[in-house]
Amino acid sequence: MNITVIGTGYVGLVTGAGLADFGNEVTCVDIDAAKIEALQAGAIPIYEPGLQAIVAKNAAEGRLRFTTDLEGSIRSARAIFIAVGTPQKADGSADLRYVEEVARTIAGFMDGPKLIVTKSTVPIGTGRIIEAIIDEAGKKHLASIVSNPEFLREGSAIEDFMRPDRVVIGASDEEAIALMKEIYAPLHTLEVPFVVTNVESSELIKYAANGFLATKISFINEIAVLCEKLGGDVQDVARGIGLDSRIGPKFLQAGPGFGGSCFPKDTAAIAEIARRHGYSFQIIDAVLKVNEDIKERSVRKVIEAVGDVSGKAIGILGLAFKPETDDMRDSPTIPLIEGLQLQGARVRAYDPQAMENARRMFDNVEFCHDAYQTARDCDALVIATEWNEFRALNLDRIKSVMRSPVIIDLRNVYDPARMEKQGFRYTCLGRSKVLHRTSTPVAS
């Protein structure tokens, strides 16, 4: 099928490459000429494992191309995927200006039947807004409006697209549903479940999923606080509840709070959607508050471990909001670094992929080329993102270059007993210093 994807950001690029790999003829279009020129030359503007290879493969085989020609791309396509940004407004709601602009552009250029698919994360009711825009242009009879939310995890987006847990299709007519199933035909052989519903339910599914996962993160972060007060171990608690099939083990890792392009924006948006319809989404409001409190608590953790940080050098390992991405959006390291700087600390930092993005965000931060340069002459070292290379540091070397052997591990990467034995003053989240964990369940 001839498909046009409008928007070459994270979602648009992964979607375009994935659909091309399924055998569709895909054109990715963007108004940013410099970005399109770079993509045509094989340069990928974001870091995502596997993305470079799948783009190069499908471009070389002629199934994937990049252009700024909106009119031609719309006219030639049978299906048009909208994958533009929906940034957060000051009140927490999603800004739909780009989606609406794209809808008006499609309405102006469409000259035959079109499947208009919303891939961007949009508030409930956006499909009806797009439908009204198409109708105002007198083209409603030519358009089928579909919601097809993405569930891509940064760092594993290609795998998530090629082997998803489910495909959600929100549509109101059988032809649109059939066309969507044709687009995703290779997934039928993998027995991937298809959830077919109306547009409003489909739009809500994405927000509900992210809201629930964010709730699990805030929940386990509060359990970590309770463990510290009671002498428990959050990793044992997480394992104990995660083995319950009704709960599951994922998103039960204590840390410095959630960030990224989805959870903060989507949880705030669903709370605002509820308020606009006269309902207070109390659980989500609490999740957001806990997340902000946990981020502030990370700064206090460092101060408690170091004392007065004014004039002291604090090293930060990890800047992206999670491993395997260069995304700094709403990263917990932002309030961490800013909070330490407000207390007079001198901050040094390193991240395997997010350095360039971070340089544009922070002033007076010394960026280093690896973990060991970051640790040199530091009064404390903070593990803020659990990149694999930080899981196997040469701890003797780290200790030898630090001014004081103080480590604050906000991701619980290391064993507290081991760190104490190696002579570190080690702080982590919700864990006792002496562990009594057994990995083999005892039969009753």
**144 and 164 in one domain?**
yes
Residues 43/156, Cβ–Cβ less than 8 Å: no
Strand 365-367 with 79-82, pairing: unpaired
Quote the pLDDT of residue 443.
40
Can you tell me whether residue 197 is helix, strand or coil?
Answer: strand
How distant, in Å, are the alpha carbons of 39, 76, 121, 233 from that of 61? 15, 19, 30, 52
**127 and 237 in one domain?**
no
Looking at the domain assignment, is residue 444 inside a domain? no
Q: What is the DSSP letter of 183?
A: H
**232 and 98 in one domain?**
no
**421 and 383 in one domain?**
yes
Quote the pLDDT of residue 436.
45
**255 and 168 in one domain?**
no
Looking at the domain assignment, is residue 325 inside a domain? yes
Quote the pLDDT of residue 258.
96
Looking at the domain assignment, is residue 100 inside a domain? yes
Last residue of a domain, one of 145, 170, 197: 197
| Regions in the chain scoring below 70 on pLDDT | 433-444
**Beta-carbon contacts of residue 117 (< 8 Å; ≥ 6 apart):** 79, 80, 81, 82, 146, 147, 148, 180
**170 and 94 in one domain?**
yes
CA distance 18 to 34: 23
Sheet holding 25-29, edge to edge: 64-67, 25-29, 2-6, 79-82, 114-118, 143-147, 167-170, 194-197
Q: Which amino acid is at 221?
A: N
Catalytic member of 227, 262, 368, 428: 262
Give the domain extent around 377.
208-427
**Beta-carbon contacts of residue 368 (< 8 Å; ≥ 6 apart):** 315, 348, 349, 350, 374
**287 and 149 in one domain?**
no
Q: Find the CATH number of the domain harbouring 229.
A: 3.40.50.720
Quote the pLDDT of residue 88.
86
**395 and 282 in one domain?**
yes
Residue 64's nearest CA partner among 55, 51, 73, 77 is: 55
Quote the pLDDT of residue 433.
57
Quote the pLDDT of residue 77.
97
Quote the pLDDT of residue 90.
86
Looking at the domain assignment, is residue 443 inside a domain? no
CA distance 378 to 405: 9
Q: What is the count of structural domains for the chain?
A: 2
| Catalytic annotation present for 28 | no
